[in-house]
Chains A and B, each alone.
Chain A
């Protein structure tokens, strides 16, 4: 099983000829991801690491109708346009790696996608990996070497790597790892991913990596409290020491109007008996306790 991406994921890379697009196409291919085509307007006819490049998404889909997923490396100024193109062409899962996309752009394409039943992961995210099956993202290959029972959903890229790495080192594999992105407006939020994990037979434990800002973690905790999540959940929240009113790198990581503080998130999880790790390595210990 796994969620979002698996052996049947057939990928289109938008922005494939750019530096990041090209490099990560190579890494994804090395990981075993089935990449069928790429798109860069004006570069149709080229190939990148053996992958054919088209001028438009529609052309690529005409040649490769099996494509069901797109990953976007298009620079921020043009990214929104590419997302709309993918939605209009009928692609149902779009992973947006690009960072610094204006929030108002993200709001428009996220709402447009939702009205059309399209799932967006990101923007400004590391992507999705179901170990040894498929990786649609930029997560380092060498960390994701073991399938297993833990599903991870995270707002932060490097922290995802950090915690996945410690789990793998401890011999604990992952079902799917989803980086949803750190921007204020994202396509798919934590709660939606946790619902997918709840439905996924391969996932038996869930790790939630949150951070200050917004109320996503609090809403997730409330949902867990309603009893609809039967699988054990472990949380980690970064930003305990961040001062209010300052944006900590991520556009979304800001405590404002007294909402989204570290304390309110930890309290929300503790109230529904979700243990909160104080350091990234402690996540592994807490998962192990559930496994006993």
Chain B
């Protein structure tokens, strides 16, 4: 999961990285704490996605009154399904140059990868496309770790000298510690500002933490992550849910099969409304809660359920479907492909409530497509 900017900054500053002086505001009434700050300040809505400035979610404020009205404007707004709960107010920094530096997991080489560039403050993917020579890449072995000579090499590559080079050692070591100690998949500072007085300051920070490791990081709150309200709800039942933009509701078991089902919807010229994976060995309750999400979603016109039961039992799925319909009393066309363990039992349960089942996903999708057309 992706951490909010201010949380990432807190983690890095704990290990010595300089960040702009700032404060987190969760209620407009609390802006009083900003009175000792040096205005102008920059108000940054804490939302976990890129392009905040373009969306008007970063604003300059010249006094406390302006700070309060911006806090009022931001807090409680919902952007892309994500509610703004926090606003970060920060003092400005006088920037001479903007750099980029990140550490990621290197899937291909089974290690870590450092990327650094003297072209910071912009979309790094764009730099990678336009001028790949401006990006320095450095592979790190997970066992050997980050060595000083590597940091010296990177600093030289970025053209850093004096206090900036010293700061850079602190920055890299802090990033590496956060990366390894917090089970991160990405620690990125962009931009990393070289100030006019020759120091390095982290202006924006992105940290992504491996969800599977959260049990050993009790100090990381899910409230500081990029989960939307619906995704948080789905997680409680072990459902993997991602909202998409279409109108055909999808539920399947297994990530691969769920994606293949989305693709099939598209293949028939329709648009999937979601990715909803009930997982391996889904219980009746998981299926019921998942289906309720689709039945009560106004965007969803028809539902395609694609189950290939290995560990998952078809009769459990059928019971979950039945209960979801009883509880919501919503009537939407549902097309179910049911195959595998306890298939007969499952078909029987569904037949009793008037739902037909199909042998293959294609057959179910064909019927769904007809229903939408008709």
User: Using a CB–CB distance below 8 Å, which chain A residues touch chain B?
Assistant: 76-77, 99-105, 107-108, 110-111, 114, 126, 138-140, 154-162, 165, 182, 184-185, 209, 211-212, 214-216, 219, 236, 238-243, 246-253, 257-258, 278-281
Contacts and interface: CB of A to CB of B under 8 A. Distances in A.
Nearest to B142: A107
Interface residues of B, number: 53
Interface in B192-218: 210-213, 215-216
Given A76-B212, A107-B142, A249-B254, 6 more contacts: A99-B280, A103-B210, A111-B110, A162-B257, A236-B260, A249-B240
B266 A241 contact: yes
B16 interface: no
Interface string B263-275: 1111100001001
B256 A250 contact: yes
Contacts of A110: 110
B183 A103 contact: yes
Nearest to A100: B212
Contacts of A209: 256
Question: Of residues B256, B267, B275, B277, which shows the largest number of chain A Cβ atoms within 10 Å of its Cβ?
Answer: B256
Nearest to A278: B267
Contact of B210 (A102, A126, A253): A102
Contacts of A248: 240, 242, 255, 258-259, 275, 277
A107 B110 contact: yes
Contact of A214 (B108, B216, B266): B108
Interface of B: 105, 107-108, 110-111, 124-125, 128-129, 141-143, 180, 183, 185, 210-213, 215-216, 240, 242, 244, 252-260, 262-267, 272, 275, 277, 280, 308-311, 339-341, 360-362
Given A239-B259, A242-B275, A107 B111 contact: yes
B105 A184 contact: yes
A88 B267 CA distance: 49
Given A158-B254, A158-B310, A280 B260 contact: yes
Given A76-B212, A102-B212, A103-B183, A238 B256 contact: yes
10 contacts: A103-B183, A105-B213, A158-B257, A159-B257, A161-B308, A162-B257, A214-B107, A239-B263, A247-B242, A279-B267
A252 B107 contact: yes
Q: Give 3 closest A-B pairs by Cβ, nearest first.
A: A156-B256, A249-B255, A158-B254
Contacts of A76: 212
Nearest to B179: A104
Contacts of B262: 239-242
A139 B311 CA distance: 8
Given A102-B183, A161-B308, A185-B110, A211 B256 contact: yes
Question: Of residues A102, A157, A236, A249, which shows the largest number of chain B Cβ atoms within 10 Å of its Cβ?
Answer: A249
Given A219-B108, A248-B275, A101 B212 contact: yes
Contacts of A215: 107-108
A102 B182 CA distance: 11
Contact of A162 (B244, B265, B308): B308
A139 B309 CA distance: 10
B210 A156 contact: no
Contacts of B257: 156, 158-159, 162, 238
A155 B260 CA distance: 13
A257 B263 contact: no
A148 B74 CA distance: 62
Nearest to A76: B212
Contact of B340 (A140, A241, A247): A140
Nearest to B311: A138
B142 A108 contact: yes
A278 B264 CA distance: 8
Nearest to A115: B143
A140 B310 contact: yes
Contacts of B275: 242, 246, 248-249
Contacts of A241: 244, 259, 262-263, 265-266, 272
A186 to B, nearest CB: 9
A159 B260 contact: yes
Nearest to A97: B280
Contacts of B244: 241, 243
Contacts of B362: 279, 281
